[in-house]
Structure 1
Amino acid sequence: MKVGFKVLSYFFIAVTLQNCSTASNDTNENTEEPKLYYQELNIPYGDENRQKFDLYLPANRTLNTKTIILIHGGGWVSGDKSDMNTIKDLIRSDFPNLAIANLNYRYANSENKPYPMQTNDITSVITYLKSNAEKYTISNNFGFIGVSAGAHLSLLWSYALDTDKSINMVCSIVGPTNLTDPAYLNNTSPELQALLNMFGETPDIAYLEEASPLHQLTASAPPSILFYGGQDPLIPTTQGTDLRDKLAALNVTHQFTLYPNEAHGWEGLALLDTWTKLKAFIQTHLN
């Protein structure tokens, strides 16, 4: 999905400027003192160019410090971790005790489907962080914030692949949840169909269910917060409401917000509402 959520950046920049007086001073130097702020950019977690991530570690961290993982959008075929930098900056300002991992993943194409390639990339990053938890002075507990295709991957990893139950929360901002939704299978949009074809032009339904967070959701899923636009041309409203209903039926802690007049991204009061709710959710489940 092409991310129409770049309007998010303007709000994040404004809030960050307001909060800059409380932000910690950055340093790029690694020292043996674990209580200093530290960042490491473009850490390789595989052999391909896209398999890199950025890591931001807060001052005064301990082995109880949790990490929030940012997953960019772009229809599984584009986008970059830099698209999430303003979200990263806002989290650093409002949650100075959290570590942040902002990752790139391999693009899908006619030869390589999004699933399982891209969830495998997330697995590699989480495995790397767990293996180096003592080095970085962080815990094995994580949260996700994903936008669009990145939200789909965040939900799918949290619901289907978190065998250690290390995900404390997951946020989906306009993320696809059900690739077998009739609104997808019977769609008439060439742009949308071109993106869905990344999963195969005549995909097996069993495969689509395996790649759909809705079908992988169980009662042991982590707390989930969902944001959707009622006029989104790429994400039918049912992608959000059906997941909401299943979360409720399984008694999984969740919050759901639908902005009836918004599309694949929003600004103004709706965007302020999004961050206010997400901030409270992070405070409750990850902070």
Structure 2
Amino acid sequence: MKSLKYHFLSLIFIILCFNCSNEAAEKEETNGLDSKNYYQELNISYGNDNHQKFDLYLPANRNLNTKTIVLIHGGGWTSGDKEDMNPIKDLLRIDFPDIAVANINYRLADTNNKAYPMQIEDISSVINYLKNNKEKYTISENIGFIGTSAGAHLSLLWSYAFDNDNNTNMVCSIVGPTNFTDPAYLNSASTELQELLDLLGVNRTTPFLEEVSPYHQVTASAPPTILFYGGKDPLIPTTQGTDLRDRLEDLGVINQFTLYPNAGHGWVGLELLDTWTKLKIFINNHL
């Protein structure tokens, strides 16, 4: 997802040219936990592993109705860092000055530590931490998710299958896998893809693949969902987006789907500006 990081940096430059509020944002300082002041806390530990940390950015003049957007980075479940999502975090702070942002790291998968359920458990730990400290931070329990690639998969799966308190108001998937029973996955000859699927969990049986697939876990009570995909993505088949879109339509779940026909696993220029424009409207309407 490093390419997306630099693409979002480009978008930030475009927006800042028209947004004078950047100067004020740069001058903000940590002023303690007074809810009238902006506050940030970096590398908050939520577990014993070095990767179990997240950054929290709290707006000035927040209250117990203040909502939080949780950012989840990509990297094939095996790599990546919350720093990759800093460009999106910066955009959120500029365009949504009344929303809190939690940018999280999670334990990375390897041959001895499978992504599922480990990374879902990490997301739950972060959400529980925020809930348990909502009065300290002066925020509500209501959240939204923005995830990229593997982080988009985790965002969708947690929102659809593990949000037992229904606190998720919206979820955004940018090039996220959604259905591991998709023939485009099962019949793929890509060695890289098959290695990633092996790292996802302990087996490749159909029940397990359905268990880790947002497509198979989504219900009619799922939160509003916005999806972005590239038509020439070498890692994520187009059907990963279109099939989930159709499933959401069948269930009556509010959704928005965008396919950039000539884009791959990330995009730049006008397409990227279009992504942020649509995502801003969606956040305004549903968070």
Partner of 1:173: 174
How far apart, in 2, do the equivalents of 1:77 and 1:108 lie?
5
Alpha-carbon offset, residue 192 of structure 1: 1.7
CA deviation string 1:158-199 (max 9, x = no partner): 000011000000000000001111111110112222212213
Please state how far the C-alpha of 1:13 moved relative to its aligned partner. 3.5
Task: Write the distance in 2 (CA, Å) between the matches of 1:12 and 1:118.
Answer: 29
In structure 1, the partner of 2:257 is: 256
- Residue aligning to 2:165: 164
Deviation for aligned residue 1:252? 0.1
Q: Which residue of 2 is the match for residue 5 of structure 1?
A: 4
Give the 3-state SS of the residue equivalent to 1:111 in structure 2. Answer: coil
By how many angstroms is 1:21 displaced? 2.8
Deviations 1:47-79 (A, max 9, x none): 000000000000000000000000000000000
Deviations, residues 119-174 of structure 1 (Å, cap 9, x unaligned): 10000000000000000000000000000000000000000001100000000000
What is the DSSP-based 3-state SS (H/G/I as helix, E as strand, rest coil) of the residue aligned with 1:5?
A: helix
SS of the residue 1:180 aligns to = coil
Change over 3 Å in CA distance of 1:20–1:46 after alignment to 2: farther
For the 8 Å contact 1:20–1:93, the answer to whether it is kept is: no
* Counterpart in the other structure of 2:193: 192
Work out the CA distance in 2 between the residues paired with 1:283 and 1:16.
20
Residue 21 (structure 1) aligned with residue 21 (structure 2): yes
AA in 2 matched with 1:102: N
Which stretches in structure 1 are left out of the alignment for 5+ residues? none
SS in 2 for 1:134: helix
Looking at structure 1, the residues matched to 9 and 247 of structure 2 have their Cα atoms a distance apart, in angstroms, of 31
1:16 Cα deviation after fit: 3.5
Equivalent residue runs for 1:99-114 within 5 Å: 99-114=100-115
1:274 aligned residue: 275
**Would the alpha carbon gap of residues 70 and 44 (structure 1) be closer, same or farther in structure 2, given more than 3 Å must change?**
same
Q: Which amino acid aligns with 2:11?
A: F
Contact 1:16 1:89 in 2 (8 A): no
Matched residue, 2:236: 235
Q: Identify the residue that residue 42 of structure 1 maps to in structure 2.
A: 43
Structure 1 SS opposite 2:169: strand
Q: CA deviation at 1:100?
A: 0.2
Cα 1:243–1:163 change in 2 (3 A) is same
CA deviation after TM superposition for structure 1 residue 28, in Å: 2.4
> Percent identity at matched positions?
67
CA change 1:4–1:209 in 2 (3 A) is farther
Quick one: which amino acid aligns to residue 8 of structure 1?
F
Q: What amino acid sits opposite 2:4 in the alignment?
A: F
Match of 2:91 in 1: 90
State the 1:3 CA deviation.
5.3
Describe the shift of the 1:110–1:86 C-alpha distance in structure 2 as closer, same or farther (beyond 3 A).
same
Query: What SS does structure 1 have at the residue aligned with 2:19?
Result: helix
How does the TM-score come out when normalised to structure 1?
0.96
Q: Give the AA of the match of 1:231.
A: K
RMSD: 1.4
The gaps in structure 2 that reach 5 residues or longer are none
Distance 2:55 2:149 in 1: 20
CA distance in 1, matches of 2:31, 2:61: 16
- 1:156 partner SS: helix
Deviation (angstroms), 1:201: 7.9
Q: Distance in 1 between matches of 2:244 and 2:2?
A: 21
Q: Moved runs in structure 1, 4+ residues, more than 3 A?
A: 22-25
**Following the alignment from structure 2 to structure 1, what is the Cα–Cα distance between the partners of residues 185 and 142?**
34
Given that residues 115 and 201 in structure 2 are in contact (C-alpha distance below 8 angstroms), is that contact kept between their aligned partners in structure 1? no
| Alignment match, 1:116 | 117
> 1:40, 1:55 within 8 Å by CA — same for their partners in 2?
yes
Q: Is the 8 A contact 1:8 1:266 kept in 2?
A: no
Aligned residues: 284
